[in-house]
Structure 1
Amino acid sequence: MKKNIFLYLFVFTALICLYLSVSGSNMADENMGKIKKLKEQVATLKDSVQQSNLKVMDMQYFSLENNDDALAYYEHLNLNDPTAYITDKLLETNEQKSDNPLIPYEGMEGDFKINKIKVLNHKWILTDFSDGKYWGELLIKYELKDDLGIDFTLVDHLLYTRSN
């Protein structure tokens, strides 16, 4: 009887070991499949990030921050961030109660104000303006003087027409 109990105990233990071995092997295979899938996703995401970085670099080609030749014009002024300074000065033209004086149109739904600004180089700025319903764009020439004053001159403009 005692012999049978040890035999049953040995067989039962062997079955548990076999079950744990097969179960562990299946779990390891499943985890390896998940790891492989995640590695593929990481590779895809790295490619996507790299493509996005290339697009951003391409979009920043025309910007004062990335144009060393244009920035050289402002080295003697000791400005930490010429783009921010120029942008702030241009936004100050929005502070009037009526339409922005650089915008050659009268607001139809409100006053036209400059919204977005892209300082292209040491001479030109591209802006977006809107009155809340209608919008357009401006090409502005500017001159930053040694006394940190700025003269803005409208070069060209357009107002988008609404098509209903």
Structure 2
Amino acid sequence: MKRNIFMYLFLFVSLWVVFQYVNNTKVYESQQKQIISLEEKHQNATDSVTALQQRLAETEYFGLRTNVNAYEYYESSTIEIDDIIQLVSDGIYSKNTLEGNSFIPYEGDERQFQVNQIHVLNHRWLIADFSDGNNWGELLIEYFVNEDNSIDYRVIDSLLYS
């Protein structure tokens, strides 16, 4: 009788060990597949971030904050670069009125043209995007910061997309 109990106990334990082995193997393989999938997603995300950083660096190449020569131009000035950008932008945006913007040499179809966005290229030029809701265009504007921190503007060229 003891022999039968030990035999049945041994058989039960053997089946239990085999069951646990098979189950753990399946769980391990499933986790490995999940790890590989997550590693691929992580690599794709890392590649995307790297590509976006490169695009951002290319985009910001022409910008007052990142242009070393333009930055050096204002080193001896008492006004900060961020303040210059703000002053220049405010000066352009302040020309947006119900009658249009005096820098824009075009007449709008339904509404008057307004400046939407500005990008300060360096210590002398900026690009402005404008539209009337239907038509879009761009301006290349030259600006000068005077001794009294006032700003003079001169439109160099403009284009209207058809």
Fold shared, TM-score > 0.5 on shorter chain = yes
1:80: how far off?
5.2
Aligned to 2:45: 45
2:95 aligned to which of 93, 96, 101: 93
What is the one-letter code of the residue matched to 1:46? T
Q: What is the count of residue pairs matched by the alignment? A: 160
Give me the identity figure in percent.
39
1:84: how far off?
2.6
Alpha-carbon distance in structure 2 between the residues aligned to 1:55 and 1:112: 30
Runs of at least 5 residues in structure 1 that lack an aligned partner in the other structure: none
Residue correspondence of structure 1 range 110-129 to structure 2 within 5 A = 110-129=111-130
Give deviations 1:92-127, integer Å, cap 9, x for gaps. Answer: 111x23110000112221121000111111111111
In the superposition, the TM-score normalised over structure 1's length comes to 0.88
Say whether 1:19 aligns with 2:19.
yes
Q: Which structure has greater helix proportion? A: 1
Aligned to 1:103: 104
What is the one-letter code of the residue matched to 2:132? D
Alpha-carbon distance in structure 1 between the residues aligned to 2:86 and 2:3: 90
Aligned to 1:132: 133
Alpha-carbon distance in structure 2 between the residues aligned to 1:59 and 1:112: 26
* Alpha-carbon RMSD: 1.7
Give deviations 1:103-158, integer Å, cap 9, x for gaps. Answer: 01122211210001111111111111011111111111111112111111111011
What is the one-letter code of the residue matched to 2:90? D
Runs of at least 5 residues in structure 2 that lack an aligned partner in the other structure: none
Residue correspondence of structure 1 range 21-100 to structure 2 within 5 A = 21-75=21-75, 76-79=77-80, 81=82, 82-94=84-96, 96-100=97-101
1:48: how far off?
2.3
Specify the SS of the correspondent of 1:64.
Answer: coil
Q: Which runs of 4+ in 1 moved over 4 A?
A: none
